Amino acid sequence: AERAIEQVARAAQYLSERRWGALIVLERETGLQDYAESGIPLDAVLSTELLVTIFYPNTALHDGAVIIREGRVVAAGVVLPLAEENATEQVLGTRHRAALGLSQQTDAVVVVVSEETGIISVTHDGKMIRRLTEKRLLHVLRTFYRRTRPSANLPSWLERAVDLFRGPQP
């Protein structure tokens, strides 16, 4: 998982700097095969270069999502369910609505790069963290893939973000 996280973060930063939009889905426990089947099937080792190539503007696959499962890109050009516009407190573009929509229905973590602003965001459980740097994106993704509760030495902004995603604990 660590290698995949690093490749995704590096690609997100590269795409962000160029304002190339992207929608990168990291499958977790909930299977995403039904969604993957809406796109072009791939079975490729995940790399920064592959993600950058897929999201190169005005190509056949750049508008859809990529689904990553166990370090492999399993599909590209994937259509995701959109969150209802009135369910969001702000006006969001299609990529962000798709990221929220999938995160409301599954436990996937979705990385979004805005084509308009270059801003990197992450969605999980119907919530979004925006304005992430590559370093912060790495921290957030690593936190989602840890098996235990984050340690107290995490930066306070990350601790708050993780608590937001996790919701009330029993």
Residue 24's SS3 state is strand
| Long-range contact set of residues 101-106: C-beta below 8 Å, sequence gap at least 24 | 102/25, 102/35, 102/65, 103/127, 105/81, 106/28, 106/30, 106/32
- DSSP for 66-84 reads EEEETTEEEEEEE--PPPP
**pLDDT (0 to 100) of residue 93:** 87
* Phi–psi pair at 21, nearest 5 degrees: -65, 150
Considering the entire predicted model, what is its pTM?
0.84
Q: What amino acid occupies position 91?
A: V
Nearest-10 Cα torsion for 58, 60, 66, 69: -140
What is the reported pLDDT for 84? 76
CATH 3.40.50.12240 for domain 2-166: no
Query: How would you write the pLDDT of the chain (170 residues) with one tens digit per residue?
Result: 899 999 999 999 999 999 999 999 999 999 999 999 999 999 999 999 999 999 999 999 998 999 999 999 999 999 999 987 665 556 688 999 999 999 999 999 999 999 999 999 999 999 999 999 999 999 999 998 774 344 445 566 666 676 666 666 55
pLDDT of res. 89: 57
Q: How far apart are CA 38 and CA 141, in angstroms?
A: 25
Query: What contacts 84, CB < 8 A, 6 or more positions away?
Result: none
Question: What residues are paired with 44 via a beta bridge?
Answer: 73
The pLDDT value recorded for residue 165 is 67
Per domain, the residue ranges of the chain are 2-166
